[in-house]
Amino acid sequence: MKFWQKIYVFSILVFVIIFNAASIMVIERSHNRMLEQEINSALSQNMSIQSSVNAIVPILRIYDSIDYEKTVLTRIANEFVGTNNEQRVYLDIRDKANRAVFSNIDFQMPAQRKELDKLGAEEINYILRDIDGRTILFTSNIVDINHTSYLFTYMVDVTSLYQDRVDQYQFFVQVDVAACFLYMLIMFFVSRGLTRSIDQLGRTAQVIAQGNFSERVQLKSKDEIGVLAHNFNNMAAVVEDTITELEQNNQEKQRFINNFTHELKTPLTSIIAYANFMRTTKYDEETFLDGLNVIYSEGKRLELLSLKLMNLIMLQGDNFEMELHDLGAVIAEIKPALDMMAKEKQVTIVTECEPGELILEKDLIKVLIFNLVDNALKASDEQQTITLRITWHGGHCMLEVMDQGIGIAKEHQDKIFEPFYMVDKSRTRNGKGAGLGLAICQNVASVHNAVIRITSNEDQGTKVEVVFALTHPRGGIKE
């Protein structure tokens, strides 16, 4: 059963139960109050008759005649019945021998009368009886006149009260049917309207489950369902971002594997080819030296590739000992090695370092600088200059590596940090590169919570900025 159907059915059940119970209580309460009024009125009339009789008792004692007593009682009864003739009241007076002194009843008096059991003087008992399809209220009391007991029974026909109750129930049934039909009609639209938002949430969830993660619920209500829809959209946005990130990671991993395979294939092919050539060819010193040089060169290239891959793997961890070092001193320490790298291409390396200390991992920073300078050398021509500069600006320290080389085209600048990505593959291969340098630099920067920015134009050179956020004042440790 759908949720709107549950709301519809249960609300109707609750309405029917409450409406019928309340209506029955009202009808019964009204009937009981009217019946109670009739009983009180009958008892009052009975007492009135008794008062009239008691008023003439002294006169009856003077005459002390039973026949006179019956005559007087008959006259009082006739006057009373005549006065209440339109109200369908009955009066029955009997002596102690159960002979009728007066009676205007038009039905058979019941043989068994429980209300007379244990009826004492000055008491009035009443009872309701169904006789000939009518409901009669009996009130009985005993009056003692000149040591003679008379039974007075005052009766009222209350059939109309019960007929009114039946009429009220019949009218209630009609009202109940109409009210239930109207309520069912209203609740149908109300329940469907209340759950329409939930249906929309369900449909949107199905669309998202089918892979359309950009789908959103369009609800503007501010009730609980509106809040749920808002939270659902937030959840969908997080899921979409996560899926997108996972897809990007998978693509990057696939590109990594493809590029890594390609990088391994080229030197291995050369090594295998030259080894096979030397194995199947007669010895010739010059030919063998050329082959060995190629094998050695390609072997060194594989060694360099493995070392850089090890660096990438190492940088995935977080067990680094960070200490306070002067970044300029670190550059000065590796400056001779950098000059040796640049000497082969006749490139000059210039350093401009402002003094200051940073919390860093010294060996990783050396790896970062070597890779940045190596990339700059590959992009530079002879007699050009590479500049390393350290500047301090408020809460930041900036390491800049600037070259005058070939630059990087705009369409490549957003991909150069991917492993094995190479802008000019032929040129990079000649320089024994594998496209891992900037990927390693990016990871080193992440370890130091630093940001790498690149500004480059083709044939105008490249500037790489590594921005370190300071965790302590320049030249000292924060206390």
Domain boundaries, the chain: 3-166, 227-314, 319-469
Note the pLDDT tens digit of each residue in 24-76: 999 999 999 999 999 999 899 888 888 888 777 777 666 667 777 788 888 88
Q: Which of 159, 166, 156 is nearest to 127 (CA)?
A: 156
SS3 148: strand
Q: What is the pLDDT of residues 232-249, one digit of tens each?
A: 888 888 888 888 888 887
Q: What is the pLDDT of residues 250-261, one digit of tens each?
A: 887 776 676 667
**Position 266, amino acid:** T
Average pLDDT of the residues in 4-13: 88
Both tokens assigned to 236: 């969908």
Rounded Cα gap, residues 275 and 270, in angstroms: 8
Among the residue ranges 19-23, 30-34, 289-293, 415-419, the one predicted with the least confidence is: 415-419
Lowest mean pLDDT among 35-44, 78-87, 356-365, 414-423: 414-423
pLDDT of residue 318: 62
Distance CA 105, CA 89 (A): 9
What is the assigned CATH class of domain 319-469? Answer: alpha beta
Q: Which position has the token pair 């009826």? A: 119
Which of 92, 91, 90, 99 is closest to 67 using CA atoms?
A: 99
At a CB cut-off of 8 Å and minimum separation 6, what does 239 contact? 208, 213
Q: Number of helices and strands (H, E) in the chain?
A: 9, 12
Rounded CA separation 290/269 (Å)? 16
Query: 425 pLDDT exceeds 60?
Result: no
Q: Which residues pair with 442 in a beta bridge?
A: none
Architecture of the domain defined by 227-314: Orthogonal Bundle (1.10)
Q: By the 8 A CB rule, do 48 and 77 touch? A: no
Q: Which of 47-61, 149-163, 332-346, 415-429 has the lowest mean pLDDT?
A: 415-429
Lowest mean pLDDT among 110-124, 263-277, 339-353: 263-277
Residues comprising the chain, all counted: 479
Contact status, residue 335 vs residue 349, Cβ threshold 8 Å? yes
Q: Where are the alpha helices (DSSP H) in 210-284?
A: 224-280
How much is the pLDDT for 479?
Answer: 31
Residue range 3-166, CATH number: 3.30.450.20
DSSP reduced 3-state for 454: strand
Average pLDDT, the chain: 82
Residues 361-369, mean pLDDT to the nearest whole number: 85
Q: How many Cα neighbours within 13 Å face the side chain of 340? A: 5
Band (pLDDT 50/70/90 cuts) for residue 179 is very high
Phi, psi of 211 (to 5 degrees): 115, -5
